[in-house]
Every structure is written in C-alpha cells, then in structure tokens.
Amino acid sequence: KQDAAKGDIIIFTGSDATQKTGGHVGLILENKGNDISFIHGSTSKGVIINKLSDAYYNKRFLKIVRVLN
C-alpha cells in the first residue's frame, strides 16, 4: 500500500466482504503517507471519493495494481 500512486487501480471485494474475489474497483487519486484516497462509482451516490481508511473499504480491500509505469 505504501507504494500506491496516483492512477493505480485499487481492487475490492463486492458487497460480500467474505468473498475474496474482485467485485469493485477504484482509481487512486493520492497517497499521503498511507492515507489513500480513491474515486469510484457508487450505486446509490454516483461517482464519489473515499479513503481506504474508511472501515467499509478497508475491510474489502484486496490489492493495488499499477497498469502503466
């Protein structure tokens, strides 16, 4: 997580946190000392910005992928 950079893809489980398969993705906006913020689509709220430190997303976090270097 500490190497996460703007533009990396962040992958989460879907609504069932016990399923360890990807079900939701976001795009990292910034990483300030492991305080990662990301943008993603929410079914109920549209496009929003959240932090990985939010309990809901922290519980569902799977991995971060860098597509372009």
pLDDT of 69 strictly over 90? no
Tens digit of each residue's pLDDT (9 = 90 or more) over 6-61: 999 999 999 888 988 999 999 999 999 879 999 999 999 999 999 999 999 999 99
In this structure, what are the phi and psi dihedrals at residue 58, rounded to the nearest 5 degrees?
-60, -40
Q: What was the pLDDT predicted at 64?
A: 97
Q: Which residues of 25-64 are buried (b: 16+ CB within 10 A; e: fewer)?
A: ebebeebeeeebbbeeeeeeeeeeebebeeeebeebeeeb
Single pTM value for the model: 0.90
